[in-house]
Amino acid sequence: MVTSSAPNTASRVDITGRLGANVRTRELPSGDALTSFTVIVDRPAREQHGTAKVDAIACTASNRKLAERIERMEPGTMVTVAGVLRRRFWRAGSPAGQVGSTTEVLVRSVKLASTS
């Protein structure tokens, strides 16, 4: 039996930035839809190295109503997304069956960001 005195852990992500240009929805073999998009956030000046001045944060939404809302937004719209951080794995189609992975925000809510 494993016991831990560590505090409860949680994965919670809140991001405010600009909606990226490539919002796309694809249907999965299960019939569910998955919408993928990016939120572009500016890096603080002290963290800008080389030419990278922004980060493009990968986001996904599996809720159809949420996906429809995101699809109606214009690229560049300031948004605030809330969700959880997930790492997703897949096996590539190559004969070697290489494993790939990505880390993304599984979005639970999105709203227009305050511009004040």
C-alpha dihedral over 79, 80, 84, 88, to 10 degrees? 20
Map out the domains of the chain with their CATH numbers. Answer: 13-109 (2.40.50.140)
Predicted pLDDT of residue 13: 94
Tokens of 116: 């004040």
- Tell me how far apart the alpha carbons of residues 68 and 10 are, in angstroms, rounded to a whole number: 28
Residue ranges, the chain, pLDDT below 50: none
Please check whether residue 71 is in contact with residue 42, taking contact to mean a CB–CB distance below 8 angstroms.
no
pLDDT, tens digit (0-9, with 9 covering 90-100), for 66-77: 989 999 999 999
Predicted pLDDT of residue 16: 96
Predicted pLDDT of residue 99: 82
pLDDT, tens digit (0-9, with 9 covering 90-100), for 96-111: 777 888 899 999 999 9
- Tell me how far apart the alpha carbons of residues 84 and 94 are, in angstroms, rounded to a whole number: 30
Triad 15, 9, 13: Cα angle to 5°: 5
